[in-house]
Amino acid sequence: MSIEVGILGYGNVGRGVEYAFGQNPDMHLAAVFTRRDPATVSVETAGVAVVSTEDIAAWTDKIDVLILCGGSATDLPKQTPQFTALFNTVDSFDTHANIPAHFAAVDAVARQAGKISVISCGWDPGMFSLARFYGDAVLPAGKSYTFWGKGISQGHSDAIRRIEGVLDARQYTVPVAEALAAVQRGECPELTTAQKHERECFVVAKPGADLEKIRESIVTMPNYFADYHTTVHFITEEELLRDHGEFPHGGAVIRSGVTGKDGEHRHTVEYKLTLDSNPEFTGSILLACARAAVRMQQEGQSGCRTLLDIPPVYLSARSREQLLKEFV
């Protein structure tokens, strides 16, 4: 019997989850819930109901888990507690500083409702959380580094778009090659986020706009760009669509630690992602976590979880026998 799944929010991540069903035949997409008029939303998969979020309560017996694909700024802090009262839920909440508060809010509802909610299921937080965790657990004496990119940062792209004279923009976060190499060599340098990353901007200006003024506005923007080595390229709208229409991303978590009588032996653990599509990889992780959420709840567990709490086997459709034989 397949696991019945709902998706709430049909943007890039929601579509990424939808595509992942093709690779997870034990899971079945039953419905997409939307705050828009359902008649205006057309999903890729045949036979999937498109339902107004207002009618979601009628689906408590029809789906085993709801995957929340909204944003971390305003959607998820409200939605995840709200819908965990009715369903097992999974989200990709990614505002790192607010994870403990989000966890506490969701945990209270989940325990009360007898549901499982797995939060922060993406690649960072998510797979990178696991990499940071395992690196520290097996090498307690050491230093960890997280590098992001090369990839598009939505927040930084938006910040550029708000500048006067800008029509559209894409911002790539790029690891500083020398910083990355020093960490990979186990040199354990002290590095700020700005020393680890540089920013490359592709900007489409409005006709007649002052390019030098736009460039200056970008590179001096506090928090976003001022502390970073920032490069600005002006391109045409056609070039933007042709060369920067996808959502690549990636990065690396590197743990460098020592063992031995006097810490004389050094070890480096590197977990590296190179992603053609940030939202589709995130969607694939969300679906694996949805499987785990249902299994845990069916065992009688309740409460909030992160990937650090989940026995790995719960994430996979494979049998324990196959895992022991082919993966251990």
Sites of contact with a copy of itself (CB under 8 A): 16, 19-20, 23-24, 44, 96, 99-100, 103, 120, 125, 127, 129-130, 132-134, 136-141, 186, 246, 259-261, 265-277, 280-281, 283-285, 288, 306-313, 315-318, 321, 323-325, 327-328
Closer Cβ to a copy of itself, 9 or 257, answer by number: 257
H or E element in which residue 84 lies: helix 75-84
Residues 6+ apart with CB under 8 A from 113: 84, 85, 86, 302
Angle at 103 (CA atoms; ends 101, 106), nearest 5 degrees: 110
Give the whole-angstrom CA distance, residue 274 versus residue 128.
13
CB of 299 to a copy of itself, least distance (A): 13
CB of 216 to a copy of itself, least distance (A): 36
Closer Cβ to a copy of itself, 154 or 301, answer by number: 301
CB of 162 to a copy of itself, least distance (A): 29
Closer Cβ to a copy of itself, 125 or 149, answer by number: 125
Closer Cβ to a copy of itself, 117 or 230, answer by number: 117
Residue with tokens 């944003």: 71
Closer Cβ to a copy of itself, 139 or 221, answer by number: 139
Show the tokens assigned to 224.
């976003």
Closer Cβ to a copy of itself, 220 or 274, answer by number: 274
Closer Cβ to a copy of itself, 55 or 246, answer by number: 246
CB of 246 to a copy of itself, least distance (A): 8
CB of 187 to a copy of itself, least distance (A): 13
CB of 250 to a copy of itself, least distance (A): 8
Residue with tokens 């895992």: 323
CB atoms near residue 274 (< 10 Å): 11
From the list 217, 215, 180, the residue with the least C-alpha distance to 195 is 180
Q: Are the CB atoms for 129 and 289 separated by under 8 Å?
A: no
Q: Are the CB atoms for 50 and 34 separated by under 8 Å?
A: yes
Reduced to 3 states, what is the DSSP secondary structure of residue 41?
Answer: coil
**How is 166-201 classified by DSSP, letter by letter?**
EEEEEEEEEE-HHHHHHHHTT------HHHHEEEEE
CB atoms near residue 72 (< 10 Å): 18
CB of 193 to a copy of itself, least distance (A): 15
